Amino acid sequence: MTRANRPFAVVDLGSNTVRLVVFEGATRVPSPLFNERFFCGLGRGLGATGRLNEEAIPQVMASLDRFRRIAGSIGVDRLHVLATAAVRDGENGAELVHDIERRIGARVQVLSGETEARYSAAGVLCGMPDADGVVGDLGGGSLELIEVKSGASGRAASLPLGPLRLAEFGRADSVRAAREIARHLRGVKWLPRAHGRTFYAVGGSWRAFALCHIALTSHPVHMVHGYALSRADALALAQELRGSHGRAIAKLAGVAERRIDMLPRAAAVLERLLAQMRPSDIVFSATGLREGFLYEHLERRERAKDPLIAAAETLAARESRDPAFGARLVHWTAPLFAREGAAATRLRHAACLLSDMGWREHPDYRADQVFLRVLRHPFLALGHEDRVMLAAALFVGAGGKLGKADPASALSLLDRERRHRAALLGAALRLAYAVSGGAKGVLAAASVHPRRGRLDLVLRGKALPASPNVDSALKRLVRAGQYSHGRVVT
């Protein structure tokens, strides 16, 4: 087994939770084999006492022992234990580290605030390579802020503004907590200079914030990664979550009970941060410190891969009858999209690679199954609208027909242009399979040629003869592309 194929395990020992994630391997797409967390409250009371919560330590040790056994059974040869704000700030942090290393047999890396911020930024870049703005990772004990641009991170700050720390002010002293938040954020002198850029929100409390907005707006894609809000919408929700209806909103969204009490404080931090930075929008990231730690362990060539295309290639290798056919389709469909930009080409590339993923499904349900699988797959570097467009194109390619979009349907996220492109691309994929039977050698003997408003399907040499199925697929492509007519040329 190569290094890249070995399971890669990360334990995140935080102020509020301890979590183990075992990734399938050190590859560009961080796929978890196992993911488990325990709420332990290790950093509870730290601000008042200067010490880690003694009552939490036995639970932390028991959790780590369980994690060690699980990781070993999966085949992990090394457990990476990352300790963050609570352990680095607690007077008895070094003592806990010594006990963990002696009893668990794994080295503990106590991260500085700057290193923690850098790993969080790497996690966002892992999932959003084009990120440009400021990453904010809100843990139980601290808030890490760091600039990202052009695939790299820049200035960073670590602030003691985690919800667990702020809880020590008590519910009755929210004014004092607000002053503390404002004081620390004012100390980040470079933050206002990021005005107008994107703020990338990382961490469980802010993921819960996104879930609340998804629930309140009945957003049809129930997925946090890539979910975007305007500054005005985020500010309005932050104010609601700090108010009397905050708990009811969180319960509606299905937020874990132990996370609900933290939401008002997380919202208070976000509200002040929005005022200080004034970003254009807020984008939520499901990838953070753990994925960033893995990302920084990748070889440079692996890091340079597009995570969407890498994931599509992996799925195609596992589920397509011939993975090379999808790669050939990228070239075959290109004449139909002569004026597309780089972003559109990327989506078309992914759709071609995934075009055969539903071949094992029952024909009566194939299109629906493919749509749902793509819609819900944990792809990285894919916004919600692009995710729906990709799913819609493969739905059409599998034989589905795009009807009028129900407001509650994911298709309602597509504007007219995206809907048209999805229909056209799906129809092109369907014609390619009708012409070739999924054999790349046969596909090479056929080609499509848009000519002055008409569409020619040219069959040469070893091409299969036309059939009613091919004629039907060609007519569908002609309608989708709004050509005057189409014909088969031999």
Length of the chain: 490
Look up tokens 């007219």; give the residue. 416
Q: Does pTM top 0.85 for this prediction?
A: yes
Tell which phi-psi region holds residue 455, choosing left (phi > 0), alpha (psi between -120 and 50) or beta: beta
How many helices (H) and strands (E) would you count in the chain? 22, 14
Residues 98 and 110: beta-carbon distance below 8 Å:
no
Token representation of residue 29: 């797409």
Assigned CATH class of 307-489: mainly alpha
- Collapsing DSSP to helix, strand or coil, 380 comes out as coil
27 contacts: CB under 8 Å, gap ≥ 6: 4, 298, 302, 310
CA distances from 305 to 128, 309, 356 (A): 12, 8, 22
Query: Are 3-110 and 307-489 the same fold in CATH?
Result: no
Question: Which position has the higher pLDDT, 172 or 36?
Answer: 36
Is the pLDDT assigned to residue 175 strictly greater than 90? Answer: no
Tell me which residue of 118, 154, 113 sits closest to 133, measured CA to CA. 154
Is the pLDDT assigned to residue 14 strictly greater than 50? Answer: yes
Q: Which of 7-21, 58-72, 402-416, 458-472 has the lowest mean pLDDT?
A: 402-416
Is the pLDDT assigned to residue 171 strictly greater than 70? Answer: no
- Read off the amino acid at residue 319: E
Architecture of domain 114-290: 2-Layer Sandwich (3.30)
pLDDT score for 358: 94
Token representation of residue 105: 């047999």
Domain map (residue ranges) of the chain? 3-110, 114-290, 307-489
Within 10 A of 412 (CB to CB), how many other CB atoms are there?
13
Q: Which of 66-70, 152-156, 240-244, 365-369 has the lowest mean pLDDT?
A: 240-244
Residues 312 and 381: beta-carbon distance below 8 Å:
no
- Read off the amino acid at residue 374: V
Confidence class for position 177, pLDDT limits 50, 70, 90: confident
Is the pLDDT assigned to residue 229 strictly greater than 70? Answer: yes
Residues 351 and 397: beta-carbon distance below 8 Å:
yes
**CA 479 – CA 410 distance, rounded (Å):** 23
Write down the CATH number for the domain with range 3-110: 3.30.420.40
DSSP state of 56: G
pLDDT score for 207: 95
Residues 405 and 392: beta-carbon distance below 8 Å:
no
307-322 pLDDT, tens digit per residue, is 999 999 999 999 999 9
Exposed/middle/buried for 457, CB within 10 Å: 0-12, 13-18, 19+? buried
Report the first-to-last Cα separation within the chain, whole angstroms. 50
Is the pLDDT assigned to residue 3 strictly greater than 80? Answer: no
pLDDT score for 405: 67
Phi then psi for residue 227, to 5 deg, are -70, 135
pLDDT score for 483: 93
Is the pLDDT assigned to residue 407 strictly greater than 70? Answer: no
Helical spans, DSSP H, in 128-262: 163-166, 174-186, 204-217, 231-241, 246-252, 257-260
Share of the chain above pLDDT 90, in %: 85
pLDDT score for 1: 47
Is the pLDDT assigned to residue 243 strictly greater than 80? Answer: yes
Residues 229 and 286: beta-carbon distance below 8 Å:
no
